[in-house]
C-alpha cells in the first residue's frame, strides 16, 4: 500500500534533511518521506463563514445522521461531516473525536438530560473545554458557547437537535 507524498509545506524540511545527508540509502529516504506525509502538521482547520454580529443563540445545528450535520447561522446554511471539519480521530479516521461525540450527545438528548448522558469519566471537564474551544474557533464567535445550568454542568447556548 503506497502512501501519498509529503505535504507541500514540508517538502523544504525534507529537502533540507536530504541535502544534509546526501548518502542516505534509498529505503531510508523513502521512509523519511512516508513519515513526513503521515506525521506532518495537522490540516488547516475549517471555519464556518459566520456573518458579522451573530451570537451563540443565532446558531442552529441539526444532525442529519451520526456522521453529518447541517449548520444554519442567519442566511448561511452548510452541511459538514465530522471528518470534513477536522473532527476525525488522528488514530482512526473512521472514528470521531470527543468534540463530535459531545455534539451528538447534546443533539440526541433534550435538555437538561443531555449533560447526564455524557460518558462519566474524570476527563469530562477537559473534554468540555476542548468542545468549547473547538466551537469558538469553528464559528469565530466570542463568548462562551455553553451556559451553566448547575454547578460544574453546562448546556449549549445554541439550538441543536438530531433529525435521524
Angle at which helices 98-108 and 124-139 cross, to 10°: 90
pLDDT bracket for residue 94 (50, 70, 90):
confident
What is the tally of structural domains in the chain? 2
Residues 64 and 32 in one domain: no
Residues 95 and 64 in one domain: yes
Q: What is the pLDDT of residues 49-79, one digit of tens each?
A: 999 999 999 999 999 999 999 999 999 999 9
Residues 31 and 94 in one domain: no
- Tell me which of 99 and 10 has the higher pLDDT: 99
- 84-103 average pLDDT score: 88
Containing structural domain, residue 24: 8-39
Between 27-31, 66-70, 117-121, 136-140, the lowest mean confidence (pLDDT) is in: 117-121
Q: What angle do CA 64, 67, 69 make, to 5 degrees?
A: 40
Residue at 51 is within a domain: no
Strands 59-65 and 153-156: unpaired
Residue at 47 is within a domain: no
Residue at 45 is within a domain: no
Amino acid at each position: 500500500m503506497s502512501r501519498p507524498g509529503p505535504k507541500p509545506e514540508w517538502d523544504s524540511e525534507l529537502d533540507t534533511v536530504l541535502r544534509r545527508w546526501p548518502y542516505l540509502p534509498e529505503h531510508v529516504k523513502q521512509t523519511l518521506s512516508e513519515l513526513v506525509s503521515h506525521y506532518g502538521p495537522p490540516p488547516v482547520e475549517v471555519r464556518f463563514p459566520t456573518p458579522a454580529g451573530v451570537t451563540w443563540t443565532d446558531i442552529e445545528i441539526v444532525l442529519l445522521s451520526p456522521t453529518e450535520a447541517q449548520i444554519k447561522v442567519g442566511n448561511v446554511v452548510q452541511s459538514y461531516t465530522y471528518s470534513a471539519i477536522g473532527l476525525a480521530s488522528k488514530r482512526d479516521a473512521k472514528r470521531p473525536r470527543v468534540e463530535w461525540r459531545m455534539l451528538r450527545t447534546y443533539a440526541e438528548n433534550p435538555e437538561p438530560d443531555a449533560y447526564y448522558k455524557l460518558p462519566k469519566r474524570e476527563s469530562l471537564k477537559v473534554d468540555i473545554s476542548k468542545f468549547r474551544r473547538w466551537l469558538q474557533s469553528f464559528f469565530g464567535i466570542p463568548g462562551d458557547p455553553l451556559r451553566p445550568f448547575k454547578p460544574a454542568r453546562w448546556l449549549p447556548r445554541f439550538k441543536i437537535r438530531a433529525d435521524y
